[in-house]
Structure 1
Amino acid sequence: MAETRRQFDPEFRAGAVRIVRETGKSIAQVARDLGINSGTLANWVKRDREARGEAAAGHLAEDAAGERRVGDGA
């Protein structure tokens, strides 16, 4: 059975991104609080940062689980 995709209006998207930007909470935590997929919110945050001209490196070092990625040390 196919699932229907939820649609989010631009105001909801902007508000979710603003929460991430202004509170310092992880994407994963904000997504849980709002009941949305963390990958979806991560995409919105990425697009917002690109639109603002912020460098992706360093800013998106958090994965969907909200943990910092670390190299394997090799």
Structure 2
Amino acid sequence: MAEQRQRYNEEFKKQAVKYVQEQTKTLPEIAEEMNIPSGTLKNWMTKYRSFEHEPVASANP
């Protein structure tokens, strides 16, 4: 029997991407924490990512 696919609404996806951007954890760690396949979360990052919540990288290492 086929496994039932989980459906997520647009707001959930956007909030998940925002959460990823605010964390210092790796994408696979967050995907596991949220019980979402990391590939799915990566696709959402590509589609919904905005840079307003990410820290600006310093030019000095």
User: TM-score scaled to structure 1, two decimals?
Assistant: 0.59
Q: Which has the higher contact order (CA 8 A, sep 6+)?
A: 2
Tell me the distance in 1 between the aligned counterparts of 2:8 and 2:20.
17
Shift of 1:24: 2.9
- Structure 1 stretches of at least 4 aligned residues deviating more than 6 Å after TM superposition: none
Instruction: Structure 2: state its 5+ residue gaps.
Output: 52-61
- Report the counterpart of residue 43 of structure 2 in structure 1: 43
- Report the counterpart of residue 5 of structure 2 in structure 1: 5
Instruction: Structure 1: state its 5+ residue gaps.
Output: 54-74
Shift of 1:4: 1.5
Equivalences, count: 51
CA RMSD of aligned residues (A): 1.7
Seq. identity, %: 39
Are residues 1:20 and 2:23 paired? no
One-letter amino acid of the counterpart of residue 34, structure 1? M
